[in-house]
Structure 1
Amino acid sequence: MKFRRPPRFRLADSAQQVVGGFLLAGPFVVTEEVWDLATNMSLLQALITICLVAVIGYATLYKADTTRDPDVERDVAGVPIRFLSLLCVSFGSVLILALLFDAPDTFLETNQLSAEGLLVTFKAVSVGSVFSVVGAATADSVFSK
């Protein structure tokens, strides 16, 4: 019986995730419709969207790519580092671009630092992350071979 070593998570994998995450996050950060959706979403809908991002990311990393086994990867508190990195990149890329492009001030009628502005930005980031996670996970899976 021949044992295969699981692919190690490297800094290059995070870099690939960042490229994919930013690539697909950009168009959604600067779309007024996303900010309108976020304004009208409930907090529960945003939290469910965040769960959807996690499910999409996990499925892409570990179910679509059968060469990876989350049980043998390095982890933090039982959560694979690759998956944690993916989530940080997915949400982080959207947040960074939103702030860099000044999207909250552009699309919100309220002050972005008010409680309402922060909540809408949180919800907009959750929406944009649905697309960012697809790019980040795909880039990680395609280029890690």
Structure 2
Amino acid sequence: MQLRESHKLADTAQQIVGGFLLSGPFVVTQEVWALARNMTVYNSLFLVAVVIAIGYGGLYGADTSRDPTREAAVVGVPIRFISVMVVAFGSVGTLAFAITAPDLFLPDLSPIKRLVVTSRVLSVGAVFSVVGAVTTDSLFRTE
């Protein structure tokens, strides 16, 4: 019987540090909010796919000592990967909310449109956040 590698709280904590570290500058940059205003749903979905590819590739492609089939999983998806995705998008959303960035950068939009543009910002910021999350997870491995 093959043992499953567990995902520890320390792993998620490391991902959070990396995710917040690299997402911060993009949440507070007016240019990112201006870009998000002009993005379409397709642009956002493409960026979400990029985040997924970077996350999975960084965890399991770049670090060949990891085997996703040996890790604890939910419906076949490794918990470590789920954690990285939650951190990548969650860190951007948390920062945007904490510093009231949508109110600052989108004061002229209705609440619904503000939410739509903010979700687009999440897809932009997550590209950078996932790099930080994956990097710290790989550099500071807990065995």
Match in the other structure for 2:135:
138
Q: Distance in 1 between matches of 2:31 and 2:93?
A: 17
Match in the other structure for 1:75:
73
RMSD: 1.5
Match in the other structure for 1:90:
88
Aligned length: 141
Q: Distance in 2 between matches of 1:126 and 1:94?
A: 9
Contact 1:110/1:116 (8 A) holds in 2: no
Residue 7 (structure 1) shift: 4.9
The alignment's TM-score, normalised by the length of structure 1, stands at 0.92
Match in the other structure for 1:14:
12
Q: Distance in 1 between matches of 2:5 and 2:72?
A: 10
Deviations 1:4-53 (A, max 9, x none): 97753211000000000000010000000100010000011101101110
Which of 9, 22, 25 is residue 24 of structure 1 equivalent to?
22
Which of 102, 114, 119 is residue 116 of structure 2 equivalent to?
119
Unaligned runs of at least 5 residues, structure 1 = none
Contact 1:90/1:133 (8 A) holds in 2: yes
Match in the other structure for 1:128:
125
Contact 2:4/2:71 (8 A) holds in 1: yes
The alignment's TM-score, normalised by the length of structure 2, stands at 0.94
Contact 2:4/2:72 (8 A) holds in 1: no
Residue 127 (structure 1) shift: 0.2
Unaligned runs of at least 5 residues, structure 2 = none
SS at match of 1:46: helix
Counterpart check, 1:63 vs 2:61: yes
Q: Distance in 1 between matches of 2:105 and 2:71?
A: 41
Q: Which amino acid aligns with 1:9?
A: H
Match in the other structure for 2:38:
40
